[in-house]
Structure 1
Amino acid sequence: MAKKYYIKTFGCQMNVNDSEKMGGLLESMGYEKAPSPEEADVIIVNTCSVRAKPDNKAYSFIGNLKQIKRKKPEAIVAVSGCVPQKEREQILRFNHVDLVFGTFNFVRLPQLLERVKKEGRTIEILNSKIPEEERIPLIESSLENPYVAYITVQRGCNRFCTYCIVPFTRGRERSVKPQLVVEEARRLAERGVKEVHLLGQNVDFYNYEGVDLADLLYMVSEVPGIERVRFTTSHPAGFNEKIARAIRDIDKVCPYVHLPPQSGSNRILERMNRGYTREEYIEKVKMLKELVPNVALSGDFIVGFPGETEKDFEETLSLVEECVFDQGFVFEYSPRPFTKASTFEDNVPKEVKNMRLKELQDLIKRQAEERNRKRVGKVEEVLIEGFSPKGTELYGRTRDNKPVAVVGGKELIGKFVKVKITESSPFFLKGEPAAELVEVE
């Protein structure tokens, strides 16, 4: 009987991609995916430490694995990702954890598992560049979604925003050789993947020997079988007109940009060390919307950053009102270890953070609701990815990344379907296949 593995992933899409690669490595060793940690011989917790919430969730999940280890002592419990990269001692407090490894060395998972079997508890945390890990093939069954896949094209960060721990957990910026990216896209297309997301901590700063992100978008779009190309996460200091023109000019590149402003106050942006002003951010959004009128814009926001006044917050609200967002992810500031902001006085009361978070969320919700309402009655192209979590409707996304619940049968899964939008809400749509056309060739 084949041994089984289970991977629990916290955090960003890059962590999802790392987990998929670890799954591919395990399957190349003969392991099969288990539906639950209780049924697995190897359990991996891939952690995130960008914010306190996923950090705490990971610790809670790791603690709960103690019961499984007690019932099944031969199972290997491993913890990987950003949390052990920055605070391995915290992980080592859990005596039932057999393997601890960081963000730089998940490529050595097969060797690390062998060390655990031979030597017992193993810790390996590297703090330097790993050799072309993107050569690791993804195995079809290790993908979370058989039709949509991630390709990591850029890792690390040189920005050193004062609140962010990424430079300490993911290292300095480094870009993947474009030929490797294209090869990966081709392998994924051969496995039936139709949409790829190019991932980077600051993907706009992708540059490999003069090949930039816009160039890479053209290269990936030429891969037969890949019908949609997305990229994330953009940084306002790196986003430029060449990228916007690539979105406009390449049919396969989707009109969606995740461009986090974090704040609309120049004073707070400077304290955050973001490297741009509110005026520069607004000008880039105007440029993008002029070149790509149908583009959908999303962003991340931090409320309650140390020193944020009511006036600073009002400037964030005014930036949102001027730029208009289709989606926004709003977080209360939480100090992260090793960052410069952790030395600032966290002087915005919790109740004020809560009020600002709700007010900003409500504004973005109203904007999204108004934009989505205008889509009712229109026909949209939707890639049907599978059934919704409740299993009663199909689920997919439009080209500009709007989630859509679709009435239909399983024969539509994996197809591009023309869908007539029948209902809208702030952050998702509902629809049914348009009568005149089913699959888009």
Structure 2
Amino acid sequence: MNSLLTDIDFIPEAPAQPEACETKVTPDQNTGRLRKLYIESYGCQMNYSDSEIVSSILAKEGFDTTSDLNIADVVFLNTCSIREKAEQTVRARLRQINALKKSRPGLVVGVLGCMAERLKSKLLEEEKLVDMVVGPDAYRELPNLINEVDGGQRAVNVLLSREETYADINPIRLNTNGVSAFISIMRGCDNMCSFCVVPFTRGRERSRDAHSIVAEAQSLVAEGYKEVTLLGQNVDSYKWASADGTEQVNFAGLLERVALVSPDLRVRFSTSHPKDITDEVLYTIKKYPNICKYIHLPVQSGNSRVLELMNRTYDREWYINRVKAIRRILGQECGISSDMIAGFCTETEEEHQDTLSLMDFVQYDYSYMFFYSERPGTLAARKFVDDIPLEVKKRRLQEIIDKQRELSLLRNQQDVGKIHRVLVEGFSKKSEADLQGRNDQNKVVVFPKGNYQKGDYVEVLVDSCSVGTLFGQPIK
């Protein structure tokens, strides 16, 4: 697990969610194109999905991707602003790349994504760390912006759009295992959570054409993919209507359309918002066996007063009602994960205990856990004082982590003795004698390789577990 000196932690083996901070580098793609593109993607799945769009746009302009920074012609850092540590990491990395640039003056360096709008002037003019700053709605302009830099100019486009969804662009799949892929179904966010920068860095919500989403899923199945994850900052608010008004599709309707693409295509989604997830969505999940019985439902705090300060637009009772609906409709076996923030402005010890008690009630399978990190420009930064001492934030976060480890182990122990359908993703991290994949509840399952291979569905009888992993034997 990450050190408490960072501002994020999660149970080991938990799959990355849009709030989790990771870094991924473009793989090598050698098709003989003249220039090499290198992208480091930070933060969330939406950023990784955006990097696939960027690679597709630039492939048409003569770029292959490379994993070797030293041979790249253009270097992009696709950035995250959700935590202060993420921005610090990007700045440090830019300084390293600029040291390389001194020996390669023709190297183009740019920042994409969420840091672009917020820090454009500092990055371009004050610190002179980059040649180009491009926001998440301006990727179609990348060829022109690169040409500007090639001509000796600095380039910037951070304009946000009310229409852009990149629905017509077929992403180049990066860092793929050939089994699972992301499909972005919407962009932006209309929720003004007081701690969050996303509405300011990604703009207003826009839902993508439902037909283009289904077509992308069909294409992935044809290419041999077995699982898709539908991505959005708040998937439950997905809403698309045809130009002539004859079709209207909400998230439940979209889930059904994607599930019907193939019974062998697993369908996941992230992230749900507690204020918007409906019984209609839950019954749709129940109706189709290939829609995974797993929901990421961030709570952030278990206390109603703190939730109001966070502008989450629901209270503790509402959240509990939604959890009860999940358990009633989908059963106790449905996996639920969450995000939690320790030490938000003015949070008391009693209110912190409310978060721990809510965790006991829900029994989360795993969580992404942070201590509060004030972000400039957010509602919280403007309205509230970040008044919880750092050592108190760290202590509260550790208590949340300890609680989650207990609950994760408890939930995994309940899976022992049961048969799980596992989609094989590849070798186990510890041994090529074992394979690993995920079950319906998004948990990692490890079992002996036998004659199975990546992309197979395998019935596995789980016989033991750890906090983050299930272990078992395949059932022929």
- Do the aligned partners of 1:236 and 1:276 also contact (CA within 8 Å) in 2? yes
Alignment-derived partner of residue 244 in structure 2: none
Q: Which piece of structure 1 moves more, 279-288 or 374-383? A: 374-383
- Do the aligned partners of 1:63 and 1:94 also contact (CA within 8 Å) in 2? no
> C-alpha displacement at 1:138, in angstroms?
1.8
- CA distance in 2: counterparts of 1:255 and 1:377, whole angstroms: 19
Return the match for 2:460 from 414, 419, 436.
419
Q: Report Cα offsets for 1:380-439 as digits up to 9, x if no partner.
A: 2111122345563433211110022333279601222222324311122233433x1xxx
Q: Which piece of structure 1 moves more, 102-111 or 405-414? A: 405-414
Q: Secondary structure at the match of 2:422?
A: strand
> C-alpha displacement at 1:143, in angstroms?
5.2
- CA distance in 2: counterparts of 1:191 and 1:111, whole angstroms: 32
- CA distance in 1: counterparts of 2:139 and 2:444, whole angstroms: 32
Q: Which piece of structure 1 moves more, 320-329 or 17-26? A: 17-26
Alignment-derived partner of residue 18 in structure 2: none
Q: Which structure dedicates a bigger proportion of its chain to helix?
A: 1
Point out which structure has higher relative CO (alpha carbons under 8 A, 6+ apart).
2
Q: Report Cα offsets for 1:141-194 as digits up to 9, x if no partner.
A: x35332111111121111211111111011111111111111111122222221
Q: Look up the equivalent residue of 2:94 and give its one-letter code.
A: I
Return the match for 1:178 from 210, 228, 244.
210
- CA distance in 1: counterparts of 2:274 and 2:291, whole angstroms: 19
- Do the aligned partners of 2:165 and 2:207 also contact (CA within 8 Å) in 1? no
Alignment-derived partner of residue 290 in structure 1: 328
> C-alpha displacement at 1:29, in angstroms?
3.3
Q: Secondary structure at the match of 1:74?
A: coil
> C-alpha displacement at 1:118, in angstroms?
2.9
2:50 aligned with 1:18, yes or no?
Answer: yes
Q: Which piece of structure 1 moves more, 198-207 or 101-110? A: 101-110
Return the match for 1:34 from 66, 73, 76.
66
Alignment-derived partner of residue 275 in structure 1: 313
Q: Secondary structure at the match of 1:45?
A: strand
> C-alpha displacement at 1:306, in angstroms?
0.5
Alignment-derived partner of residue 144 in structure 1: 176
Q: Which piece of structure 1 moves more, 48-57 or 7-16? A: 48-57
Alignment-derived partner of residue 385 in structure 1: 425
Alignment of 1:37-436 (within 5 A): 37-92=69-124, 93-140=126-173, 142=174, 144-209=176-241, 210-224=248-262, 227-293=265-331, 294-343=333-382, 344-389=384-429, 392=432, 393-408=434-449, 412-434=453-475, 436=476
- CA distance in 1: counterparts of 2:99 and 2:425, whole angstroms: 35
Q: Report Cα offsets for 1:254-303 as digits up to 9, x if no partner.
A: 00000011111111011111101100100110111111012100000111
- CA distance in 2: counterparts of 1:110 and 1:425, whole angstroms: 48
Q: Report Cα offsets for 1:48-99 as digits up to 9, x if no partner.
A: 1011122221111122111221232222211100001212122224435222
- CA distance in 2: counterparts of 1:69 and 1:420, whole angstroms: 53
TM-score, normalised relative to structure 2 = 0.87
Flag structure 2 segments of 5+ consecutive residues without an equivalent. 1-31, 242-247
Alignment-derived partner of residue 10 in structure 2: none
Q: Which piece of structure 1 moves more, 219-228 or 2-11? A: 219-228
Count residues in correspondence.
434
- Do the aligned partners of 1:143 and 1:149 also contact (CA within 8 Å) in 2? no
Q: Which piece of structure 1 moves more, 384-393 or 95-104? A: 384-393
Alignment-derived partner of residue 439 in structure 1: none
- Do the aligned partners of 1:20 and 1:144 also contact (CA within 8 Å) in 2? no
Alignment-derived partner of residue 12 in structure 2: none
- CA distance in 1: counterparts of 2:471 and 2:62, whole angstroms: 41
Flag structure 1 segments of 5+ consecutive residues without an equivalent. 437-441
TM-score, normalised relative to structure 1 = 0.93
Q: Which piece of structure 1 moves more, 206-215 or 71-80? A: 71-80
Q: Look up the equivalent residue of 2:120 and give its one-letter code.
A: R
- CA distance in 2: counterparts of 1:395 and 1:235, whole angstroms: 30
- CA distance in 2: counterparts of 1:152 and 1:252, whole angstroms: 19
> C-alpha displacement at 1:130, in angstroms?
4.5
Q: Look up the equivalent residue of 1:197 and give its one-letter code.
A: T
- Do the aligned partners of 2:81 and 2:197 also contact (CA within 8 Å) in 1? yes
- CA distance in 2: counterparts of 1:98 and 1:427, whole angstroms: 42
- Do the aligned partners of 1:193 and 1:225 also contact (CA within 8 Å) in 2? no
- Do the aligned partners of 2:179 and 2:454 also contact (CA within 8 Å) in 1? no
- CA distance in 1: counterparts of 2:37 and 2:452, whole angstroms: 30
- CA distance in 2: counterparts of 1:430 and 1:272, whole angstroms: 39
- Do the aligned partners of 2:167 and 2:212 also contact (CA within 8 Å) in 1? yes
Q: Secondary structure at the match of 1:135?
A: coil
Percent of residue pairs bearing the same amino acid type: 39
Q: Secondary structure at the match of 1:380?
A: strand
Superposition CA RMSD, Å = 1.9
Q: 1:132 to 1:269 in 2, by over 3 A?
A: closer
Q: Look up the equivalent residue of 1:86 and give its one-letter code.
A: R
- Do the aligned partners of 1:8 and 1:45 also contact (CA within 8 Å) in 2? yes
- Do the aligned partners of 2:412 and 2:465 also contact (CA within 8 Å) in 1? yes
Q: Look up the equivalent residue of 2:458 and give its one-letter code.
A: V
Q: Report Cα offsets for 1:4-44 as digits up to 9, x if no partner.
A: 22211111111111011112223333433212322322211
Q: Look up the equivalent residue of 2:400 and give its one-letter code.
A: L
